[in-house]
Structure 1
Amino acid sequence: MFLRHLPSLVMGCTLLTTGAAQAEFADLLAKVPRDSNLVVLVNAEKAFGSKVGVAEGWRQSYRSNSDQAPLRMPPEASEYVLAATIDLATLSPRRETAVARLESDLPMTVVARLTEGVADKIGGLEALAMPRGGYLVKFGPHEYGLTAPSDRQAASRWVREASGRARADLSPYLAEAAEYPDRVGTEFILALDLAGALGESAVRRALSGSKVLADGGVDLDDAARVLASVRGMTLGVRTTERVVGSLKFDFAEPVDAITTVAKPLLIEVLEEGGVAFEEAYDWAPGTAEKSVRISGEMSVASLRRLMSFLELDAAAIGQPQEGGESIATDPDYQAQQQATLDYFHGIEEHLHDLKREHGAKSYYSIGRWFEKYANRIDRMPILGVDPTVVDFGAHIVSQMRDCVEAIKGAGIQSGARGASVSSSSYYSSDDTGNSGNSLFGGGYGDQVDAVRGQESQRRAIRTEERAKSSTTVRGVVRQMQEDTSRMRRELTQKYQVEF
């Protein structure tokens, strides 16, 4: 379906406070690149201070194990903004930029020691070339920026523009998203600008296969007109006594034509995008004049799944320990034990997420999740981690990418074999002697039967190739589970703590 990639890209987060804190957020937003189509803002103080955050110890757990968090922001951040330019065709970020305000004003010499960055100067500001790619810049007291990939010219342009801009230069949709929490008090917003991304004729062609629209008796032309006018997509999350989410699509046209199928249509979009999360099936639907939404309780695991398409890892910025030393530079045995424990549990948490079957109705979208989670594990910090466990992590990543190749291979094979099934016109003659290619008479029924037979063969081929790759994937997953259990036993014995 035409929206298969869109839910995967709903990735801007906004946690705003009131009063002076909002003005401080404005300073961070002013440093967001103007061509961003995705924006993320996080007020960690408000989230950590919420009733559910205090009850579940979010602050302590994030500082000790940020690898398992949905978004890899600095553990010491009080406010955090992430923006990206996303390629909607591939779901990959072309460039990501983060700006954070930390509780501590760390000198860049300390940050360099924590991150193993190489000192530089960009636009007159202290900077670091990061070991895993990208550039870190200190804009002022407590304020740091990170941009990736490693393109020094692009980083220089960003610093120059950000330093000379007093206010944000966002698209209309993202600007609205940045204001929304201020109006209604939402702590967490994910927003993606989709204006102009879809053509009505292409939407109509894609919608022709929608089971939801067919079952709901929705007029295809009306639905195409509405969906092609999509402005953007937003996920809002409140953190009070519990975590409650609301996923919303906004349109330029009234949504009357699709109101009756709002929830199943959104679920279909999530499923085909491979990002349907467990709670979404139980969320309640709602509509406004030009928007549709579903709302309900949400888990951290679901949020992590949605956020996995963002690749920038800013967690390494500023992780001061007692005495000003980082875990990675502390020679104490207990430090390595904790770093190894956190790394191993981070791998386990990602593997656990992949066991969830929700959103896997589109088989080939499963490969997308294996690939994204492999990338997340590959980017996890390894400073201070037991080398044996680092090797284990690399082994798991390799196995996950084997699954990706098996799933992709099934698509290639079924496509090649399906193309070999003849789709030429079928000619025959009936017992009256009429040729089958005439407008009337014998042969027409046979031609229809032949076409149906060809499609039946193609479906059988797709099923067969999928079954083959599924067997391969299940075997690899089983091996990963066995390897993880073995590594847990070895680590528990070595460190004498329960892994």
Structure 2
Amino acid sequence: MNRSLSAFLLILVAGLTSLPACQAQFENLLQHLPEDANTLMLFNMEEIMATPLAASQNWKNGEAAKYSSGLMIVPPQTLHLAMAAQMDIELMQPHWHASVMDLSEEPSMLTVTERHGGNVDTISGQDAAVLPNNTYVVKFGKFIAGTMYPADRQQTARWVDSVFATSGRKPLSPYLAEAEGYADQKKVPIVLAMDLKNVLSAKFIRHRLDLMKSLKGTQVDLDKLAEALSSVRGITLGIEITDRITGGIKVDFDGDVSLMKDVAKPLLLESLGNHGAMINELNDWKVSVSRNEILLQGSFQSSGIQRVFSLFDAPPGMQSLSQTSSPGDAKSGKDLTARATQQYFKSIQLLISDLQHEDQEHQSSTPGLEAMWYARYAAKIDALPILHVDPEMVTFATQVSAALRQSQTAMRTAGVQTATRITSMQGAQVYNYQYAAGAAENYGIFGGGYAYRYQANPRASLRQDGAQVAQIEAQETSRGYETANKIMQEIAVSTTQIRRKMTEKYQIEF
């Protein structure tokens, strides 16, 4: 899990409709999770792949490629996946994150290390593997495997011991246990939840509300709103799939939030936009506000689901390289390198293509948030398995990720330059100012530091002041995009060159 995902979950959650009860699929799996998690994600791949939409769009056929590229979080052969994390909400970083998978085939730790590198191990009597990406994999049962990041052997051993020491253990908090109910009793195939009880103070939220454009000019009592929002219990995202994809946002509170019924939707959408987690179709979703709940419901496009998944860090796959290749592939050392290199290159291509789509979707967002996406995709490229990959292709990938980080720097610089120019505007004195539109660290209501603008000598014309700010924003953002777009063009040229070179070298199409 990552900072962006946490920011997304802090605002985004699902309205779930009633469905017939079904046999519990996750009850046993969740007993294998570590304790003290405040974030939970559940994926019922059996349900998903059996839907009319999955069949009509042939999701199964592209499953391995999307997983290998980092665009799909669920490894092939997984029937059910449960992921949990203990997040530092203030810093938006995980202390740890873990996953447990119910697999269609028995996992082999030797196969895992052959695919990803690393070494086999035994932890508290269980087969295990430690991987180069600082992850432990543990075999809990014939068809159950778990992962733990970071690869702290002592912590992993304590986790394993706790799983086998107590039968019927319940490691989840009451709020996350409710999310399990949506997956099992209501048969919702994708559920994400974050327990936020006692996380946010009213004082902290009150400062953030002053920055929200969606609240400007409204008659909402911000003090009462801050008090109500601080009673948040948690957030749950649920996604249902039939011949289409539907989902929603449900935020649960102990306090009365009915006072925000007129501003709930714009406030949520603005917060999502501030995180770079905005999905276009959310604009058309319907909102309802009751005493203790905000509910936002509507339709998803496949691209929107892909955008949600792109924020996740996937568990390692359990398949060998031979299982992801066609039956006629040769098994010689050169052919193994060719096959691994080809798959690696296609994964890079998918990521670059998805990032370009992300740019087209979100160029109306802030420079700081664009920087976040460049950093995220650079990290995805760095995380791709490199075992058996041609060293020259690995060097190319390193250069691509470095170029994306240059784009990140360009967009962050645009935000910083915007803030610097605004603070130096004639007649304005600025203290403790964090430029909300440009800083990647701005996280709307539920995150980031306090930020405000103080003018010792107010300008005569606020309209003039606003026009000047808008001009500065446009100029610096344009410079940032110009640099980033030039870098993406250079990546396109380099991609063509390495594709031609590898095709000639291995005599297969890259």
TM-score computed with the length of structure 2 as normaliser: 0.81
Q: Which residue of 2 is the match for residue 439 of structure 1?
A: none
Work out the CA distance in 1 between the residues paired with 2:324 and 2:508.
Answer: 23
How far has the Cα of 1:206 moved from its partner? Answer: 1.5
Q: Is the 8 A contact 2:249 2:295 kept in 1?
A: yes
Work out the CA distance in 2 between the residues paired with 1:375 and 1:469.
Answer: 20
Report SS of the residue matched to 1:169: coil
Q: Which residue of 2 is the match for residue 208 of structure 1?
A: 210
How far has the Cα of 1:276 moved from its partner? Answer: 0.3
* Counterpart mapping for 1:372-391 below 5 A: 372-391=376-395
How far has the Cα of 1:207 moved from its partner? Answer: 0.9
Deviations 1:100-152 (A, max 9, x none): 12111134333333333302121221211112221111112111111111222
Match of 2:292 among 279, 290, 293: 290
How far has the Cα of 1:193 moved from its partner? Answer: 1.6
Residues 194 and 7 (structure 1 numbering): CA distance in 2 closer, same or farther, change over 3 Å? same
Work out the CA distance in 2 between the residues paired with 1:151 and 1:423.
Answer: 51
1:363 is the counterpart of 2:331: no
Give the CA RMSD over aligned residues.
3.8
Q: Is the 8 A contact 1:272 1:359 kept in 2?
A: no
Work out the CA distance in 2 between the residues paired with 1:301 and 1:245.
Answer: 14
Residues 480 and 280 (structure 1 numbering): CA distance in 2 closer, same or farther, change over 3 Å? farther
Q: Which residue of 2 is the match for residue 396 of structure 1?
A: 400
Residues 69 and 151 (structure 1 numbering): CA distance in 2 closer, same or farther, change over 3 Å? closer
Report SS of the residue matched to 2:129: strand
How far has the Cα of 1:408 moved from its partner? Answer: 2.8
Residues 450 and 418 (structure 1 numbering): CA distance in 2 closer, same or farther, change over 3 Å? same
Q: Is the 8 A contact 1:321 1:327 kept in 2?
A: no
* Counterpart mapping for 1:90-489 below 5 A: 90-165=91-166, 166-316=168-318, 321=323, 331=333, 332=335, 335-336=339-340, 339-340=343-344, 342-358=346-362, 360-415=364-419, 447-449=457-459, 465-488=476-499
Structure with bigger gyration radius: 1
Q: Is the 8 A contact 1:234 1:247 kept in 2?
A: yes
Residues 322 and 274 (structure 1 numbering): CA distance in 2 closer, same or farther, change over 3 Å? closer
Work out the CA distance in 1 between the residues paired with 2:120 and 2:216.
Answer: 60
Q: Which has the higher contact order (CA 8 A, sep 6+)?
A: 2
Work out the CA distance in 2 between the residues paired with 1:149 and 1:327.
Answer: 35
Report SS of the residue matched to 1:190: strand
Q: Is the 8 A contact 2:13 2:235 kept in 1?
A: no
Work out the CA distance in 1 between the residues paired with 2:404 and 2:496.
Answer: 16
Point out the more displaced range, 266-275 or 156-165.
156-165
Residues 455 and 18 (structure 1 numbering): CA distance in 2 closer, same or farther, change over 3 Å? closer
Work out the CA distance in 2 between the residues paired with 1:85 and 1:102.
Answer: 24
Q: Which residue of 1 is the match for residue 75 of structure 2?
A: 74
Residues 91 and 390 (structure 1 numbering): CA distance in 2 closer, same or farther, change over 3 Å? same
Residues 320 and 93 (structure 1 numbering): CA distance in 2 closer, same or farther, change over 3 Å? farther
Q: Which residue of 2 is the match for residue 440 of structure 1?
A: none
Work out the CA distance in 2 between the residues paired with 1:212 and 1:115.
Answer: 47
Report SS of the residue matched to 2:396: helix
Q: Is the 8 A contact 2:31 2:171 kept in 1?
A: yes
The sequence identity of aligned pairs, in percent, is 29
Work out the CA distance in 1 between the residues paired with 2:469 and 2:302.
Answer: 40
Point out the more displaced range, 371-380 or 280-289.
280-289
Residues 107 and 207 (structure 1 numbering): CA distance in 2 closer, same or farther, change over 3 Å? closer
Report SS of the residue matched to 2:53: helix
The one-letter code sitting in structure 1 at the alignment partner of 2:459 is D
How far has the Cα of 1:71 moved from its partner? Answer: 4.0
Work out the CA distance in 2 between the residues paired with 1:300 and 1:288.
Answer: 30
How far has the Cα of 1:174 moved from its partner? Answer: 1.0
Work out the CA distance in 2 between the residues paired with 1:322 and 1:473.
Answer: 35
Work out the CA distance in 2 between the residues paired with 1:33 and 1:269.
Answer: 31
Work out the CA distance in 2 between the residues paired with 1:358 and 1:415.
Answer: 21
Residues 168 and 446 (structure 1 numbering): CA distance in 2 closer, same or farther, change over 3 Å? closer
Report SS of the residue matched to 1:234: strand
Work out the CA distance in 1 between the residues paired with 2:44 and 2:242.
Answer: 14
Point out the more displaced range, 257-266 or 107-116.
107-116
Report SS of the residue matched to 2:146: strand
Work out the CA distance in 2 between the residues paired with 1:67 and 1:364.
Answer: 28
Residues 215 and 324 (structure 1 numbering): CA distance in 2 closer, same or farther, change over 3 Å? same
Work out the CA distance in 1 between the residues paired with 2:360 and 2:371.
Answer: 13
Work out the CA distance in 1 between the residues paired with 2:353 and 2:250.
Answer: 28
Point out the more displaced range, 458-467 or 136-145.
458-467
Q: Is the 8 A contact 1:9 1:91 kept in 2?
A: no
Q: Which residue of 1 is the match for residue 49 of structure 2?
A: 48
How far has the Cα of 1:179 moved from its partner? Answer: 0.7
Report SS of the residue matched to 2:387: coil
Residues 358 and 456 (structure 1 numbering): CA distance in 2 closer, same or farther, change over 3 Å? closer
Report SS of the residue matched to 1:357: helix
Deviations 1:273-316 (A, max 9, x none): 11101221222223343222322222343233334443343235
How far has the Cα of 1:7 moved from its partner? Answer: 2.3
Where do 5+ consecutive residues of structure 2 fail to align?
A: 431-454
Residues 199 and 457 (structure 1 numbering): CA distance in 2 closer, same or farther, change over 3 Å? same
Point out the more displaced range, 130-139 or 453-462.
453-462
Work out the CA distance in 2 between the residues paired with 1:238 and 1:416.
Answer: 45
The one-letter code sitting in structure 2 at the alignment partner of 1:265 is L
Q: Is the 8 A contact 2:321 2:340 kept in 1?
A: no
Work out the CA distance in 2 between the residues paired with 1:457 and 1:172.
Answer: 50
How far has the Cα of 1:212 moved from its partner? Answer: 1.5
Deviations 1:58-104 (A, max 9, x none): 22221344235644332111111111122323433231111112111
